[in-house]
Amino acid sequence: MMDEFAIICSRADPASLNIYERLLELEPWEEHDGFWRSGNKCLIIHDGEQSALRGFDAHLNCLGLHPRVVVFACRHESKAGLPWFGGHFTGVIEKFRQELSWASPAGLRSFLCNIRNLAPEGFLVSAEATHHGPTDMRTPCFFAEIGSTMAQWCDAHAGEAAARAILALEIRELPVFLGFGGGHYVQRQTDLIFEANIAFGHLFSSYNASWLDAKLVRDAGQKSGASFAYIDRKSLRSAERLRIVSILEDLGLPMLRSAEIRAKFPLQE
């Protein structure tokens, strides 16, 4: 059997519930005690907030599940209210609290590439910087989201696109980069995901830069399986950029620029 992955949905989240209902329509699921199964895919629904979950690895183990990847289906909110699909890894990066879950770089890349091809007209697609919980996941995971208002969260076409993008996940070995700099939607890193044969692990936007230290970056590298780093240099103040470069040099993590990444890891035909 192919590597198992688990899809987690919440009744408290209209977008998540929308995706859940579309998933049930698209696959012949078998009901088990506490979850549904279709081939190598397991589907779980709960009543809480996705970002507030704690100890979910233990819950999966209690169900007899040991997935390679966990996908949290969720809504995305933004003041602009633009139709949007995207995803991110989870973690809290603050002055007095720094916690990261294990990331699935190949999973997020696959979802973004799939949803880019499936998105209804008018929807934007991007990765986001690492943010919010759960922060204690040891199973590699990512959030797959529909944004950005109730109109999109409850749109059956958007829900079906997200569901199909999740069902078509392909988890394959890729060069993995940590990403530093950019806004919340890390546009340059998103472009590289679509333009090179790479994946990104934990992504730190410019507003996280002041809280980054060697311990956190080392943890991010381990929990992403990262072998390289990319810095959106123009988005960072000089002092922050130099400090990040120094940390990466001390950790022995090679830094590549955009052109070098595209040349070294060209898209496969």
Beta carbons within 10 angstroms of residue 252's beta carbon:
7
258 belongs to a structural domain: yes
Q: Does residue 153 form part of some domain?
A: yes
The full length of the chain comes to 269
Please determine, for residue 1, whether its predicted confidence score (pLDDT) is greater than 60: no
* 92 plus 25 within the same structural domain: yes
Quote the pTM value.
Answer: 0.97
Name the domain count of the chain.
Answer: 2
Average pLDDT in the chain: 96
Q: Which helix (H) or strand (E) holds 216?
A: helix 214-224
For residue 19, give the nearest of 218, 219, 161 by alpha carbon. Answer: 161
Averaged over 213-226, what is the pLDDT?
98
Mean pLDDT is lowest, of 70-74, 156-160, 205-209, for: 205-209
Range of the domain at 240: 176-264
* Positions of E strands within the chain: 5-10, 30-32, 35-38, 41-46, 69-77, 84-88, 91-93, 98-100, 124-127, 141-148, 176-180, 199-204, 228-231
Same domain, 159 and 191: no
Final residue of a structural domain among 167, 199, 231: 167
CATH number of residue 216's parent domain: 3.40.50.10700
pLDDT band at 269 (very low <50, low <70, confident <90, very high): low
Contact by Cβ (8 Å): 9, 146: no
pLDDT per residue as tens digits for the range 139-175: 999 999 999 999 999 999 999 999 999 999 999 999 9
Q: Find out whether 93 and 208 touch, Cβ atoms under 8 Å.
A: yes
We report the CATH number of the domain holding residue 91 as 3.40.630.50
